[in-house]
Structure 1
Amino acid sequence: GNTRLLSDAEREYRFYNLGFGYNLFPGEAFFKSWFSDKTYAFNSNFYLLAGAGATDFAGDNRFTATFGAGYQVILNDAVTMSLVFREHLYDIDVLGEEKTSINTELSAGLSVFF
C-alpha cells in the first residue's frame, strides 16, 4: 500500500569523503582519424582510488569506505576528459537488520584549465 518507511528529510542522501589516488599506468592513448590515415597520440592516465568518509541517510551517519578507478585523457594543455568509477560501502539498518550497502558511482568529466 501506501506505507512510508522514511520521512522526506530522511530520504535525503549525502556523502562526504576524502580520497587518494595512485597513477598506475601513465602513458599515451592512440586514436585513428575516421576521415584520414592520421593517428593522434594523447597523454593518458589510469589510476586507482581509495578513501574514507561518511554517508548521511535515513537519519543516520555512517562511516563509508570508497574505492575505484579512473581514466584520464589529456587532449591538450587546457582540456582533459575523464571517466571515474567508484564504489561506496557502508553499513545501514533501515529495516532493523544491519546490512552492508554498496553504492556505485560512475562519472564523466571535461576539465578546462585557464
Structure 2
Amino acid sequence: MTEMNQALENMPIPHDEEGPVFDEPWQAQAFALTVKLNEAGHFSWPEWADIFGAEIATATKEGRGCGNEDYFLCWLAALEKIVAEKEILSTDQLLTRKEEWRHANEHTEHGEPIKLGAGH
C-alpha cells in the first residue's frame, strides 16, 4: 500500500449513519463537483485518489488534516490540481472563477445561497 493510500485510509470521509457530513456548503459543493467531473469522464477515481492522497499525506506531514475543514481543504486543493493537470480549465480561467466566487461570497447575505452572475 502506498503512503498516499495509507493516508486516505487514515482519514476517511467524514460521515454519519446517513452518509457524508459537511460542515459548510462549500464542502458539499467541492465533493459534488468532483463526482460530476469524474462522471463526465474528466478523470478516473484512481487518478483522483493519487492526487487527493498526496494532499492528505502532505497535510499530515505538516500537522494538518485531522478535521472536517482540513479534510475538505485537502479535497479542494486536489480538485484544483486535477482540474489544472487535466486542463479542464486554464490557470487563468481557474483564477477568474475563484475571484468570481470570492466576489459573490462577499456580496451574499449570510444564510443565502451563493450565486455567480449570469452565464456562470
> Normalising by the residue count of structure 1, what TM-score does the alignment of the two structures yield?
0.21
Higher strand share: 1
The structure with more radius of gyration: 1
Could you say which structure has the greater relative contact order, defined with CA pairs below 8 angstroms and 6 or more residues apart?
A: 2
> Normalising by the residue count of structure 2, what TM-score does the alignment of the two structures yield?
0.21
